[in-house]
Amino acid sequence: MWHEDEPIAHPSSVPLYFVSRLARDHVKVVLAGEGSDELLAGYGKYPRSLVNWRAGSIYATVVPDAARLWLRERVVPRLPGRMGRYAQRSFLGLPHTPEAIFFDTFAGIRLPQARGLLSRRAIAAARDPYAASCAWLDRAQPGTPLLNRVLYADLKTYLVELLMKQDQMSMAASIESRVPFLDHRLVEFAAMLPPSAKLRGLTTKRILRAAVRDVLPPEILARPKMGFPVPFGRWMRTEWSSVARDVLLDRRTRERGIIAPAAVERLIGAHRSGTTDGGDALWALLNLELWYRTCVDGDGAQVLSTPAGLPPSNTAAPVDVTAREAIA
């Protein structure tokens, strides 16, 4: 967080930093793949969102507004298990808007949940988190295919965050990362490609897979998408949930007036018991409060205490406020 100068949105920043530390022992410059997913529709969200948008368009013309609203609010939330989870993230459970279909449903914390965890004052002061994405979506040239418009919006918004993360974490480890997929000539070429060259059915990055078919083995070409996960949600179901409670429910955090303490307390308990998956929300809330303490309150880099009953961590020592310049 110290090196990012902002709350860590992506938990993958943490392993990325340590991978950069390992690479630093051998090289000074590395090549990274940032940009390829946004250029060539590499994320699984693209085929899902396009299907939902097209199905939702038909659904809206066939089913009256009142009936759709009743189904979305009364029926879909009561569907059991996996069926209910899929329905809530489909055109049946979402308004037919770009914010809902293309952005919010794939967010770590969806807007209804975020609003439930924040104080009224924080909600009143908040800006529309998808205004910029929708503006870029609408800014594409007339006649641009829908997939290319969505990719353009992600290039201008989501990719910016990824590039900041990549640059900050690699530089924090004293290594330089280059992003060859973002060579301007390749970006311009990809932008002119028809959607079918990028996505067909569930096959993402179609033109790239075809280009390297003679170079990579089939098991790599057909391998499912893999992220860079951190088992934070699992940690929050162990003794570490007490650390989240200590940070998020102490007097200092309450007096800051950003979160709704009772709602956050319920989330911590429900996540630990396994009745809900609140890992992403707890990550975001913890990062927000610790960032405030680090960068706004001026208390320097924060180190969480080890939960009672666990051996002390030897991975880092507390950082004194006076050593802040030395860290940089």
Reported as a single tens digit per residue, the pLDDT across 8-41 is: 888 899 999 999 999 999 999 999 999 999 999 9
d(CA 77, CA 74): 6
Report the SS3 class of residue 211. helix
Displacement of CA 314 from its chain's centroid (Å): 29
pLDDT for 82: 86
pLDDT for 235: 92
Give the CA distances from residue 262 to residues 104, 236, 252, in Å, rounded to whole numbers and listed in that order: 24, 18, 15
Judged against a pLDDT cut of 70, whether residue 319 lies above it is answered with no
Give buried/exposed letters for 305-318 (b at 16+ CB in 10 A, else e). eeeeeeeeeeeeee
Look at residues 230, 237, 208 and name the one whose alpha carbon lies nearest to residue 220: 208
The mean pLDDT value for 178-189 works out to: 96
pLDDT for 295: 92
pLDDT for 303: 85
pLDDT, tens digit (0-9, with 9 covering 90-100), for 3-14: 888 998 888 999
pLDDT for 312: 63
The mean pLDDT value for 317-325 works out to: 37
Q: Output DSSP code: residue 259.
A: B
Type of residue at 310: L
3-state SS, one letter per residue, for 99-142: HHHHHHHHCCCCHHHHHHHECHHHHHHCCCCCHHHHHHHHHCCC
pLDDT, tens digit (0-9, with 9 covering 90-100), for 275-296: 999 999 999 999 999 999 999 9
d(CA 256, CA 233): 25
Look at residues 295, 307, 301 and name the one whose alpha carbon lies nearest to residue 319: 301
Q: CB under 8 Å to 224, separation ≥6 — which residues? A: none
pLDDT for 228: 84
Judged against a pLDDT cut of 50, whether residue 323 lies above it is answered with no
Give buried/exposed letters for 247-276 (b at 16+ CB in 10 A, else e). bbeeeebeebebbbeebbeebbeebbeeee
- In this prediction the pTM is 0.87
Q: Cβ distance 172 to 20 under 8 Å? A: yes
